[in-house]
Amino acid sequence: MDSIVLNSHAKVNIGLLVLNRREDGYHNIHTIFQELDFHDIVTLEKIDAGCELTSIDENFPLDFSNTCAKAHATILRQFPNLGGIKVHVEKKIPQGAGLGGGSSNGAAVLKGLNDLYGLKLSADKLSKLAMKIGADVPFFVNGGTQLGEGIGEILIPINVKLDFTFLLVIPAFSIDTNWAYKSLKKGLEDSIEKANFAGLFRRDTIPFELFQNDFERIVIPAHPEIGEIRDSLLKNGASYASLSGSGS
């Protein structure tokens, strides 16, 4: 096998509590990650050496800042004699939208390299390598519905079948994650009392009103239209409407 095509799925956060800032500069969180059908398409092709990136999306970075390149470099450190890879990403997931598109792309390349080169890495090993790429990348190794804690790398699968339709409303602007965390830091003490999102998910009737997103209190004042979208969805019958991550 010289090439492989993978779907690189988006995610949403159902509730997101930012608990505290760690000594390493990251933040501990408590959230439900939910994988969606909505996806990019990632095509991987073997080449002799290096990592070549292509996309028709002009906002898609083609340098080492790209999670796809980081995924190849991470695998290469484990397997120094590994060949190269050409990665083409057909982008559908917008950037800066809280949907995890970049993280998902990185995980897709990890899994694709594992299959293309027959590395036989377990899902657990892939998850550990994914952590070296970014905090949200480990979730996309297995996807589904998972409780996320730590900086997103502590994952517990939630075996609950969700019979929901998710509607994504994506504004014509993005939210910078670094700005969001810096703006939020003054109010972190408000999230010390942590809800048990996983426990709430296992109830017969899920109390969605308890799934808050801490970023709403700083993103909505800066972008009131997001609050208007949320309120409109709720008024028109949505069981739940909220910001995903710091973006959509």
Q: What is the per-residue pLDDT across 104-151, written as a single tens digit (0 to 9) for each?
A: 999 999 999 999 999 999 999 999 999 999 989 999 999 999 999 998
What is the pLDDT confidence band of residue 190, given thresholds at 50, 70 and 90? low
Catalytic residue of the set 70, 91, 136, 214: 136
Per-residue pLDDT averaged across 220-243, rounded? 92
Q: Which domains does the chain have, with CATH numbers?
A: 3-17+36-143 (3.30.230.10)
Whether 231 is catalytic = no
Q: Which residues contact residue 87 at a Cβ distance below 8 angstroms, ignoring those fewer than 6 apart? A: 42, 43, 44, 51, 52, 53, 54, 68, 72, 109
Q: Are 90 and 41 in contact (CB under 8 A)?
A: yes
The pLDDT > 90 percentage for the chain reads 62
The per-residue pLDDT for 189 is 54
Q: Which residues pair with 16 in a beta bridge?
A: 31, 213
Q: Find the angle CA(216)-CA(104)-CA(46) to the nearest 5 degrees.
A: 160
Tell me the pTM.
0.89
Q: Which residues pair with 120 in a beta bridge?
A: none
Higher confidence at residue 144 or residue 160? 144
Q: What is the per-residue pLDDT across 1-29, written as a single tens digit (0 to 9) for each?
A: 799 999 999 999 999 998 888 888 788 89
**Least confident window among 78-82, 166-170, 192-196, 241-245:** 192-196
The answer, yes or no, to whether residue 193 has pLDDT greater than 60, is: no
Q: Are 184 and 149 in contact (CB under 8 A)?
A: no
Whether 124 is catalytic = no
Catalytic residue of the set 2, 11, 163, 235: 11
